[in-house]
Amino acid sequence: MRRLFPVTDQTPADAPDQRDREWSLDELAEAYAYPDERPWLRANMVSSLDGAAQHEGRSEPISSATDMRIFGTLRALADVVIVGAETVRLEGYRPARARDAFAERRAAAGQGPVPAIAVVSASLKLDFSLPLFSRPLVPTLLLTGAAAPPDRVREAEEAGAEVVIAGDGPAVEPERAVRALAERGLTRQLTEGGPRLLGQLVAAGVLDELCLTVSPLMTAGDAQRIAGGPSLAVPSRFALASLLEEEGFLFTRYRRV
């Protein structure tokens, strides 16, 4: 992997981050370190050349080994991973696992062994016997609205999940979700989608950063884009913060202007 941006005239072509080589996890962690600003919500998504966020319902077929290393690094840096209920169902989400390579870094940052997983769901129609709820290292959070079905709230809490109300109706309000998590000390926030959730976060203006892997594949078909939902009245502008490349995969990082 090599860094394509940012570069300066003073950066020699044979500098370590300019060579096509495998980066260490420490180098990736430095490259993707959270800014001092808190809270900070970043998204991590992958897209094919023709705009597909998935192939046959899953993101893995358009990913790569390095993309998964970055995926793991972003998780290891986060306090909380926010994910939509449909993505939990489709991708077979499991609890975050502790990784020795990041243990010292997390301890120095005052973080627990793993990020919490926060599932966004209005209906709470989830299988609470899954490992995500039954065997996490830290309790799984459920972000929902005040009008969530009481029986499902009770079942979730009995399964060990922590229900967080972030909306007056059945739906979750993105601003309140970000604030509620920050109030729990979970300020380094990461969302992994899916597209509908990402669209809601963008529309609400709460997404600070997008880490987008552009895969050198074409899928055709009618797969979703990385962000769904209604079009914005005014497109939200982001600026390129960094660009890495390996074997045709582009690992981009954009920050909201």
Residues of the chain with pLDDT > 70: what percent? 97
- 20 pLDDT band, cuts 50/70/90, is confident
- State the pLDDT at residue 13: 66
- The pLDDT value given to residue 9: 63
Residue 12 has pLDDT above 90, yes or no: no
Q: How is the chain classified by DSSP, letter by letter?
A: -EEEES--TTS-TTSGGGSSSPPPHHHHHHHTPPPSSSSEEEEEEEEETTS-S-BTTBSGGG--HHHHHHHHHHHHH-SEEEEEHHHHHHHT-------HHHHHHHHHTT--SSPEEEEE-SS----TTSHHHHS-SSPPEEEE-TTS-HHHHHHHHHTT-EEEE--SSSSPPHHHHHHHHHHTT--EEEE---HHHHHHHHHTT---EEEEEEES----TT---SS-SSPPSSPPPEEEEEEEEETTEEEEEEEE-
- 62 within 8 A of 55, measured Cβ to Cβ: yes
In the predicted model, what is the mean pLDDT of residues 180-194?
Answer: 95
pLDDT of res. 7: 82
Please state the rounded mean pLDDT for residues 198-226.
95
Where does the pLDDT of residue 57 fall: very low under 50, low under 70, confident under 90, or very high at 90 and above? confident
Q: All domains of the chain, ordered by start, with CATH?
A: 2-8+36-220+243-256 (3.40.430.10)
The pLDDT score that the predictor gives to residue 15 is 76
Mean pLDDT of 116-139: 93
The answer, yes or no, to whether residue 8 has pLDDT greater than 80, is no
State how far the Cα of 51 lies from the Cα of 47, in Å rounded to an integer.
6
- The reported pLDDT for the residue numbered 159 is 92
Residues 97, 81 contacting (CB under 8 angstroms): no
Q: What is the pLDDT confidence band of residue 151, given thresholds at 50, 70 and 90?
A: very high
Average pLDDT over residues 228-251: 94
| Cis amide bond preceding 51, omega within 30 | no
- Residue 174 is predicted with a pLDDT of 96
Determine the average pLDDT of the residues in 105-129.
Answer: 94
More confident position, 242 or 193: 242
Q: Give the CA distances from residue 228 to residues 154, 196, 225, 243, in Å, rounded to whole numbers and listed in that order.
A: 31, 5, 7, 24
Q: Say if CB 70 and CB 30 are below 8 A apart.
A: no
pLDDT at site 2:
93
Q: Give pLDDT tens digits for 67-107.
A: 999 999 999 999 999 999 998 988 788 889 999 999 999 99
